[in-house]
Each structure stands twice: as structure tokens, then as C-alpha cells.
Structure 1
């Protein structure tokens, strides 16, 4: 199994889109931007950074706004999709690039979908891990199965109480999110959980993280557009939060699409089957 190796990984921070962002960088070559999901931070990609760097890529893994060492602007509107996309655009420019391969999981994947729609010139190839396409998710969320799976997103709309519940008993709920929904024992180590608790425990972080859900409910995103980039969708089929039906009918919106379903993985596919994910990403990003 691929392991985390922080030796040689450089930490950076800069003001991007009026928000100070932190990111980790490794390797050289074609740039690959790795966008994490909830409730993680750049550490989500601990098992991908070095293998991708070794494969000849310049890997850039940021803390999205609101997370870990990046700024946590106040107010729900600060987490509108337009702001999240502008952050990623700004980071691409800040790192001296015009465009990059973009890989995203969960919320990072949703941001990646929108980046490819709003600013297609910034994206080379697009890879998504267990993150629903906005148009397809709008279709699925009307159905009882996905509605039940998304109960937590509705609960997160309540102010203050979700923060209190997640923080209770040393972030026991946060730990449960990883432990209970992962199908691979050992996918999340005690050290991983400690890091995630410390990140969520930073001042303002938990509210900022939940504001992604609150902003999505309050502010509709821009019009959905067709994505013509070469796109890979990796989907752990045992995802408790997202129905497998979110992988159906995507070709209407993403015609140049390849889908790789992994029956033995859950929502946390990058942590559970890292060698498989790394091989799929490297092959997709390298192949002419």
C-alpha cells in the first residue's frame, strides 16, 4: 500500500483571491492539482502525493478555503461556488501555471466539476473521485434513496448545533464519519484521525467547513455547462452518502468520459485502495 512520505514535500502559502491559502507541493513535471473533500484537508492525498510525484508530476495539494491552515472567511456567502472556483483559478496562476490537471474528491470534486465548466481554459484533464456532477445530483436528490443518504446535509443547515454535535466528546462524530463509513480496516490510522481532529479544531474551521453545505443550499451555482475535457470518474460503489445512480447519464454532460467503478471501496476510495487509485490516475494523466 502506498504510504505517506512528507520528506521533500514543500509547504507554501500565499494570498489568492483575497484569501491566504496553504498548499503542499512535491515533484516536477506536468502539474496536477489535488482538491480534498469534507471533512479532510490536503492530508487526504497522503497516499497519492509521492506516487504521483515519482511518476513525473508536479503535485499541488491545497487546503481549500476554510480548512486547516488556509484562511476561514466569515459568513456563508464566502463559500459560494463562484468563490471556491476563483480560489482554484488563482492558485493555478499563483503557482506560475496557465492550466493544470485537476483531481478532486467529494467537495473538491464538486469544485473541480465547476472549474471545468466555468474556466475550462484552466483545466487540462479532469479526474473526479466520488463527487456528483451538479446536474446529475440535482436529478438524484429528488429521489428517496439519495434524499435519505443526504440527511446530514439538511442537518448541517441548522446554525450552531451541528458544530456543537461534531465537537462533542473530542470530535467523536468526526471520527465516526471515517471509522463507520470506511469498508477497509486501517484505511484511517489513529494518526490520520488525530490530524483531522486538529484541523477541524482550529478556530473557525468547523463552521467554515459546514458553510460549504449551507452556501450550496442558499446560493444556486452558475448554469451547468457541457464539459469537453478528457475526464475520469473513479467511484467507490459502497459509498453510503452518494447513490451509484450519480454515475448514470453523465455522458450527456461529459461526453469524453471514462468511468471506473470500484466495488470494494466506499466514499473514501483514495484511502482504501490507494495503489489502485494511483495507477488509474497515473495512467489517465500520462496516456496520450
Structure 2
């Protein structure tokens, strides 16, 4: 159970002068589930999942992450390194009053979740990752034509300034073409309607240029493979936290090779859930996602 159950819900937390917005819901004495959104999403991606988790007795914390919260959108690429993103998560865990939490991430949030499990397993009760495979599995898959083709946009995002201008004008079309329903696409398109609003989110990609390992930069250690979507690793790339990985077989960005390769990189109780779904699992499949999180939490 979380400590300090009589304290009011969190609406924000701070780290190093930055203020992050957070949605805190569910029973105050429930085990804490931290929900990390992806690109280009925000905390609202988890609304339907959170409602189901509350019904199952969990307290949920869904932050708008670095570059998404107006008070936590620093300039400069280095501000979006994986080490900074992980420290943000740990600051939220500290602010929650819980010693350990169930950590969940989707897309980029999944990359941060993997990195947190690798660097700070003692703060986690369990790990549930949606869509994004283990970073070493992804690095290996990038050597295949299929995953290299799916990941072309990560290289395009390295061009200064241009991705922000293009996406701010075409966000709704970009999202719906990737399978996101129109109501969600319209919400995100309204939030990211200017180049300035996308500078932080795209900064995550620039801080982890797709063909190099952020883990070696963040820890000073070389690992056996590179990382994508910012996920880092320690000397060992083995995750030692009870883990569930949920993947949609129709995901346009993340293919089967990395999804299936993830199992070899978890040295703990592991479950792989393959859905007849695309990329946008929190928005489109909240029942299955909430079930996977709940089952993982109860087995841990």
C-alpha cells in the first residue's frame, strides 16, 4: 500500500526546477501504477485504462512527461537524454509516497519504462510495456530490412526544425493514417498544433539518434547493442523485474522480430501478450491493457 493516504491527489511534481503535470486517480490506499505515455500523446491516452484500474483497486499516476508539460519543456537536446527521463520517473515515484510502483509505458513511455527497470529495479514491483520491445531486441531487429523500413521516420526526425513544421500542419492526418481513431487524433492534433509544441517531443528522438546507443552515453558503459526510442541499459541488458510485454501484430512501427526477441532479455517472470491490434493500445484496447496490467500486478 502507498504511504500518506490522507494527502491530497497530486496535480504536479517537480525536479530540478521543472514542474510536471500529473493526473492522479483511484483509491488513495491502492498500490500505485505509473503510466507513461508515448509520442505524440499525453496523459489523456490513459483515461480509459485508468478507469478500469481504479475499479480493480489501483491508484494511477499519469504524467505529462518532459517536453509535454509546459513547465517541464527545456531547450537543448541533452535535456531529453534517457537518464533525464528516468530521473523524472523516479521523482514522480518519490512524490507519490510509494517506495515501489507498478510501472507501465507505451511507445516512448515504454522505452523509458525499460530503462527504469534496468537502472532502478528496486523501485519497481512490476513492469508492463506496450508496443515498444526491449531496446536490445529493437537494436538487433533494426539490422533486418523489415524493422529498418518501419523506423525510417526516426532518421527523418533528426533534421533540425523541419519535422516540427510539417507535423504541426498534418498531425491529424499523420495519426489517423497510423491507425489512431479520429477523436483521439483530433485531441492530440489540437495539443500539438504549433512547431513550438513539438520541439520537446521530437527532442526525445534527437537525444537518441536512432543508430547509436543511449545506454552507453548515459552510463558510461558499452552494451551489446544499441537502443532506440531512448531506452538505456546497464552493463547487463537483462531486466530482472516481473514483466508483461503487450504487442499488436498490426503495429506499423514495431515489427515481430523485436517483439519476439524481447523474451530472451527478461530474467524474471515474463508474459508476452499478442493482440489483434495496431500501435495505439491504450486508446483502442483499454480492456486488454488494463487486464494485462492487473494480472501482472497480482502475480508480482
* TM-score tier after normalising by the smaller chain length: 0.7 to 0.9
Name the counterpart of 2:198.
206
Q: Is the 8 A contact 2:14 2:91 kept in 1?
A: no
SS in 1 for 2:72: coil
Confirm whether residue 220 of structure 1 aligns to residue 214 of structure 2.
Answer: yes
Partners in 1 of 2:287 and 2:97 — Cα distance? 30
Q: 1:274 to 1:143 in 2, by over 3 A?
A: same
Deviates more, 1:12-21 or 1:110-119: 12-21
Q: Give the number of equivalent residue pairs.
A: 270
**CA distances 1:156-196 after superposition (whole Å, capped 9, x unpaired):** 0000111111122xxx2x212321222xxxx6343x33321
**2:173 is matched with which residue: 176, 184, 187?**
176
Name the counterpart of 2:272.
259
Partners in 2 of 1:118 and 1:18 — Cα distance? 23
Q: Is the 8 A contact 2:176 2:185 kept in 1?
A: no
Q: 1:249 to 1:167 in 2, by over 3 A?
A: closer
SS in 2 for 1:204: helix
Q: Is the 8 A contact 1:31 1:59 kept in 2?
A: yes
Following TM superposition, by how much is the alpha carbon of 1:68 offset from its aligned partner in structure 2, in angstroms? 4.2
Name the counterpart of 2:229.
none
Partners in 2 of 1:17 and 1:126 — Cα distance? 26
Matches within 5 A, 1:69-84: 69-84=70-85
Following TM superposition, by how much is the alpha carbon of 1:17 offset from its aligned partner in structure 2, in angstroms? 3.8
Q: 1:193 to 1:70 in 2, by over 3 A?
A: farther
Confirm whether residue 197 of structure 1 aligns to residue 189 of structure 2.
Answer: yes
Confirm whether residue 61 of structure 1 aligns to residue 62 of structure 2.
Answer: yes
SS in 2 for 1:239: coil
Confirm whether residue 26 of structure 1 aligns to residue 25 of structure 2.
Answer: yes
**Gap regions ≥5 residues in structure 1:** 1-8
RMSD of equivalent CA atoms: 1.9
Q: 1:10 to 1:195 in 2, by over 3 A?
A: farther
Q: Is the 8 A contact 2:24 2:62 kept in 1?
A: yes
Deviates more, 1:193-202 or 1:36-45: 193-202
Q: 1:194 to 1:39 in 2, by over 3 A?
A: same
Following TM superposition, by how much is the alpha carbon of 1:198 offset from its aligned partner in structure 2, in angstroms? 3.0
SS in 2 for 1:46: helix
Q: Is the 8 A contact 2:165 2:194 kept in 1?
A: no
Q: Is the 8 A contact 2:37 2:109 kept in 1?
A: yes
Confirm whether residue 188 of structure 1 aligns to residue 181 of structure 2.
Answer: yes
